[in-house]
Structure 1
Amino acid sequence: MLRRLTIRDFVIVDRLELEFAAGFGALTGETGAGKSILLDALGLALGGRGEGSMVRVGREKADIAAEFDLEEGGVLARWLAEQDLPTEDGMVILRRVVDAGGRSRGWINGTPATLAQLREAADFLADIHGQHAHHALLRGDAQRVLLDTHAGAQVLAREVADSYRQWQQAATALKAAQQDTEASARERELLGWQIKELDELGFNAAEWSELNAEHARLAHAASLMEGADATLATLDEGDFAICAMLGQLDARMAELAAIDAGLGEVRELLSSAAVQADEALHALRRYRDRLDLDPERLAEVERRISVVMDMARKYRSAPEDLPGLLKGWKVRLEELEASVDPVRLTEAEARTRRRYGELAAKLSAVRRPAAGRLSAEITEAMQTLAMAGGCFEVALEPCEPSVSGLEQVEFRVAVNPGQALRNMAKVASGGELSRIGLAIQVMTSRDSATPTLIFDEVDVGIGGRVAEIVGKLLARLGKDRQVLCVTHLPQVAACADWQWQIAKAEKGGETLSAVTPLDAAARIEEIARMLGGVHITDTTRQHAAEMLATTSG
């Protein structure tokens, strides 16, 4: 549940730090005092749209932080772990900052978070019903989603949608294969010929490096032999052979170093040079022994290089890229062969169609009883909402297989006894639609897993006995959840477990919004104001006290 909301420089709020309690809480006050502003601020922390106009005039930024209880081991805790976001001790804090230019940043438990992450976390924490939310219920897609939520079939509905898309992809592939066999056959024939040609070439990238190295060696064999012989003669032949002279110098320097240790370093350098010259001599002899003129091998290597180069030019590729080209052709050929395999494609289409049919039938079986239950619950609620004799029905009309299943969901209503059930959008007046929508929202909120439910003036257009019934509905909901409701109706506010008054106040020449938690006496005064307006009499106060006493009992 929501524990704390901290607001800084948001619209007409300078600084507020609000501590929330469990149960049903009512937020009341005069029109324009800022009741809905508090919920707008909370909505911003939950990932709502941020605008520069939300920043209080003359300030650089608005800063909102909302602290919620975090159930250990719950779905939100697991989600935070999956997102590599830290978890505080039994709490989760969502923070949002919007600057005057409209740019915003978000954090979850102090770690920077994207707007999408804030919204996803919010799905586990709070559900906000705006005062015009009932208008969304006129859309068929919203009605279907609401029924599936009421039926606990959200996951199954997603599986149906996924399986429908898979079925359509398989059907499209089958149809395309049947219509494009000639073009596919030409491409497969060409690929087969090209693959055969490169397979017969038997070429790989490593061979290309080896061919070039061998060609360079064979093509310059005479120069290599001449240079090797000359170097060998210099190292080991004649009176001035380098290896022999270095050996003599090393021996002489050893004698001198025995007399003067200061020559030790020079002697070590000469000794090292002698060893390295000797090693170079032996390595060069081994190389020269292997080196020989081989014009036949040179011609063979040149022919191989020429064949590879011709093939590379033919396919407009670098020689070393030919193996990759061959691999790509083989993959494409496999795809084409699979795409024109009528048996495989037909089996895939049939398999995905059966899978969709099974899931869709299962979804229909879940929807039917849920539709009946929801119809009965909303019909019962209508009897107490000034629509006695009215009837509500969640109709399931069979339709062609679609991404949403085998039926269309339609909300139908008859607001008066004896009337035929018709589409809700075509029958209900504004006031009736508001009451029906409220009943639907309250009833289906019980299906939500979110611990905090927020209603922003959803009771617009009702009053009197109906308002009292709405208040009792919200109070009943507050037994299991935290329920926050912005209301202008005293009958609704009187049913709350606790109440805050939101009012405007002058501070430093500015008009700012202030929040006051109300005790028992203050609640009587506030509800009396809601009942009687500007002039509050003792009779009004007595009425307010009676309302509170009756609802608390």
Structure 2
Amino acid sequence: MLRGLSVRDILIIDHLELEFQPGLNVLTGETGAGKSILLDCLGFVLGWRGRAELVRQGAEQGEVVAWFDLPADHPVNEILKDSGIEPEDELILRRINNRDGRKTAFVNDRRCSGQVLRQISETLLELHGQHDDRGLLNVKGHMALLDDFAQAAPLREETRQAWRALSLAKAERTALAAKIEALAAEEDYLRHTVDELEALDVQPGDESQLDSKRRLMQAAVKIRTDVTKAHQALSPQGAEGQISDASRWLVEAAEHLDGQLDAAMEALDGALNTLGQSQQEIESVLQGLSFNASELEQTEERLFAIRAAARKHAVLPDELPAVAEELSAKLQTLTSGTAGLDALQREVEAAEAAYMHAAERLHGARLSAADALDRVMAAELAPLKMERAVFKTEISPSDAGPNGTDTVAFTVATNPGAPTGALEKIASGGELSRFLLALKVCLSERTLQRTMIFDEIDRGVGGATADAVGRRLAQLGADGQVLVVTHSPQVAALGSAHWRVEKRVEQDKTLSTVVALTPQERVDEIARMLAGDVVTDEARGAARSLLGAV
């Protein structure tokens, strides 16, 4: 429920603050007093498109604040959470318009974008009038209104999920078909390349091992010569022989030196053992350095083949196994593609059957609801002096989509036998107002309750018809909140709260203000609406009669 509205320095309003009530709130006043300005202010704080220049002349900025009481399960709470705003029992919207045109919006003192503000506003208020392109006159919204009237939300959600499943299945089938087509165009290349890489059979580390082996072979001649010289220097003809001779000579001398050469002889024995081990290691290396020219040629051929393949595929040599695996997988996809497409086609057919089943059930619910809505509309139009008018909910086929296979439009014929057409094209201003009101009364019991605003929806009607309009507005307000801008005394008399919009001139400046009326002031205001400029006692008596009949 809209609890209040505060306006500062907007258009011809310097400052006003209103506290609205549950039920039917009526705003009256002379033509041009500024009633539409209040709606401009409310639209501004809700992020609706409106006048570009709003700041009052002489002010640096204008500000509008609106605050609402919300139940815990109100749908606006989800929007707040998605926007990083913690929901509270009270929702406060504040929007500032600077003189340079910059606009800033706040929700519960958290800055937000105009887009978020508009999303929030759609859950809080509905605006209805003779030029209501945001509400019932917007044919794009008729399907949702009919579905809500039919209480078909579960069927609608089932249809949307079935559509998503069908769309996904079709997308997967299309993607696989495109992939297979692309692979078929390069099949020869794939097969040749896979055969080439499989024959090469590269393993991680092969390139570095072959490179090391090749370098070793290339340097092997010089290395072997040096190692052979070292081996010869340590052989019996070299160091080993000399150490053996030295050891033999010391043995002969030791017999005469009383053990003085024992340590030296022991060291020489150890040296001979170490020397023997060194010779074995060197001999092993010499055997490893033994190769023929063909072995070097084979090593170089494989090394160069691996490097050429890596350049061809623009990868590192160690990444060639992954390339081979990827290309083999593409070949496998090509080979098994037909079977895969057949399986996906079966999935598409199953998803399509599930979607059509859900869409047909939703279509049936809409047909039943359309008949019911047409009947209740016929009953509702009679008290509004439109008993000869025909309201028709038309359901026609459309392309399949997330909302089913229907197009829904509310149409009217103002007289029996006359052609039906869109509400705004067939009905006159007064008729249109009554059609909209009747439709809203019929839909309100089953649609989400918001604060409803009616801008002179009673224009063009009077007498008993105006009374019928007022009573239906009051009926809408009985379980919620309705704000109505009206020139009809019959409607004004049915309000549970009444404000008068006035203009005044202060220091050559025109200002607009809104006054909450006392019971006696209501009598005077309704009398003015009945009599015009000169309010007579008879008009006051008629006003009291209207108020007493409520």
Is TM > 0.5 for Structure 1 vs Structure 2?
A: yes
1:18 and 2:24 matched: no
Contact 1:445 1:453 in 2 (8 A): no
User: Could you say if the C-alpha distance between residues 202 and 414 of structure 1 is closer, same or farther in structure 2, counting changes exceeding 3 Å?
Assistant: same
1:455 and 2:454 matched: yes
* Sequence identity (%): 36
Contact 2:152 2:362 in 1 (8 A): yes
Q: Deviations over 1:52-107 (max 9, x none)?
A: 4122223333222211113235443354344431234x211122223233332222
User: Could you say if the C-alpha distance between residues 184 and 506 of structure 1 is closer, same or farther in structure 2, counting changes exceeding 3 Å?
Assistant: same
- Summarize the alignment of residues 170-189 of structure 1 with structure 2, pairs less than 5 Å apart: 170=169, 183-187=182-186
Q: For residue 459 of structure 2, what is the amino acid of its counterpart?
A: V
SS at match of 1:5: strand
- Summarize the alignment of residues 119-198 of structure 1 with structure 2, pairs less than 5 Å apart: 119-133=118-132, 137=136, 140-154=139-153, 156-157=155-156, 159-161=158-160, 163-164=162-163, 167=166, 170=169, 183-187=182-186, 190-191=189-190, 194=193
CA distance in 2, matches of 1:375, 1:498: 33
Q: Deviations over 1:526-549 (max 9, x none)?
A: 111222221111111111111111
Shift of 1:380: 1.1
CA distance in 2, matches of 1:209, 1:96: 69
SS at match of 2:378: helix
Task: Tell me the equivalent position of 1:423.
Answer: 421
Task: Tell me the equivalent position of 1:37.
Answer: 37
- Summarize the alignment of residues 438-477 of structure 1 with structure 2, pairs less than 5 Å apart: 438-477=437-476
Q: For residue 113 of structure 1, what is the amino acid of its counterpart?
A: C
1:4 and 2:27 matched: no
SS at match of 2:482: strand
Shift of 1:198: 5.6
Task: Tell me the equivalent position of 1:396.
Answer: 395
Contact 2:378 2:387 in 1 (8 A): no
CA distance in 2, matches of 1:330, 1:103: 60
User: Could you say if the C-alpha distance between residues 74 and 436 of structure 1 is closer, same or farther in structure 2, counting changes exceeding 3 Å?
Assistant: closer
Task: Tell me the equivalent position of 1:251.
Answer: none
Task: Tell me the equivalent position of 2:343.
Answer: 344
Shift of 1:174: 5.4
User: Could you say if the C-alpha distance between residues 72 and 431 of structure 1 is closer, same or farther in structure 2, counting changes exceeding 3 Å?
Assistant: closer
Contact 1:339 1:345 in 2 (8 A): no
Q: Deviations over 1:347-371 (max 9, x none)?
A: 1220221121122022123212321
User: Could you say if the C-alpha distance between residues 35 and 216 of structure 1 is closer, same or farther in structure 2, counting changes exceeding 3 Å?
Assistant: farther
- Range 136-145 or range 8-17, more displaced: 136-145
Give the TM-score normalised by the residue count of structure 2.
0.74
Shift of 1:39: 2.2
CA distance in 2, matches of 1:535, 1:421: 45
Number of residues of Structure 1 aligned to a counterpart in Structure 2: 481
CA distance in 1, matches of 2:163, 2:343: 19
Q: Deviations over 1:480-507 (max 9, x none)?
A: 1011111121111111100111111223
Q: For residue 422 of structure 1, what is the amino acid of its counterpart?
A: T
Contact 1:453 1:482 in 2 (8 A): yes
Task: Tell me the equivalent position of 1:231.
Answer: none
CA distance in 2, matches of 1:100, 1:333: 67
User: Could you say if the C-alpha distance between residues 424 and 111 of structure 1 is closer, same or farther in structure 2, counting changes exceeding 3 Å?
Assistant: closer
SS at match of 2:495: coil
- Summarize the alignment of residues 136-535 of structure 1 with structure 2, pairs less than 5 Å apart: 137=136, 140-154=139-153, 156-157=155-156, 159-161=158-160, 163-164=162-163, 167=166, 170=169, 183-187=182-186, 190-191=189-190, 194=193, 306-317=304-315, 341-398=340-397, 401-416=400-415, 418-419=416-417, 422-424=420-422, 427-535=426-534
Instruction: Give unpaired runs (5+ residues) of structure 1.
Output: 226-288
CA distance in 2, matches of 1:507, 1:195: 91
- Summarize the alignment of residues 95-114 of structure 1 with structure 2, pairs less than 5 Å apart: 95-114=94-113
SS at match of 2:478: coil
User: Could you say if the C-alpha distance between residues 13 and 214 of structure 1 is closer, same or farther in structure 2, counting changes exceeding 3 Å?
Assistant: farther
Contact 1:134 1:434 in 2 (8 A): no
Instruction: Give unpaired runs (5+ residues) of structure 2.
Output: 224-281
Task: Tell me the equivalent position of 1:58.
Answer: 58
- Summarize the alignment of residues 85-100 of structure 1 with structure 2, pairs less than 5 Å apart: 85-88=85-88, 90-100=89-99
Shift of 1:319: 5.9
User: Could you say if the C-alpha distance between residues 166 and 56 of structure 1 is closer, same or farther in structure 2, counting changes exceeding 3 Å?
Assistant: farther
Contact 1:410 1:423 in 2 (8 A): no
CA distance in 2, matches of 1:525, 1:198: 99
Q: For residue 352 of structure 1, what is the amino acid of its counterpart?
A: A
CA distance in 1, matches of 2:152, 2:522: 42
User: Could you say if the C-alpha distance between residues 409 and 52 of structure 1 is closer, same or farther in structure 2, counting changes exceeding 3 Å?
Assistant: closer
CA distance in 2, matches of 1:57, 1:217: 90
Contact 2:383 2:465 in 1 (8 A): yes
CA distance in 2, matches of 1:95, 1:35: 21
Shift of 1:345: 2.6
Q: For residue 46 of structure 1, what is the amino acid of its counterpart?
A: L
- Range 533-542 or range 132-141, more displaced: 132-141
SS at match of 2:474: helix
CA distance in 2, matches of 1:326, 1:513: 81
CA distance in 1, matches of 2:48, 2:474: 27
- Range 42-51 or range 153-162, more displaced: 153-162
Name which one, 1 or 2, has greater alpha-carbon Rg. Answer: 2
Q: For residue 40 of structure 2, what is the amino acid of its counterpart?
A: D
Q: For residue 542 of structure 1, what is the amino acid of its counterpart?
A: G
Q: Deviations over 1:206-256 (max 9, x none)?
A: 85997799799989999xx9xxxxxxxxxxxxxxxxxxxxxxxxxxxxxxx
Task: Tell me the equivalent position of 2:545.
Answer: 546
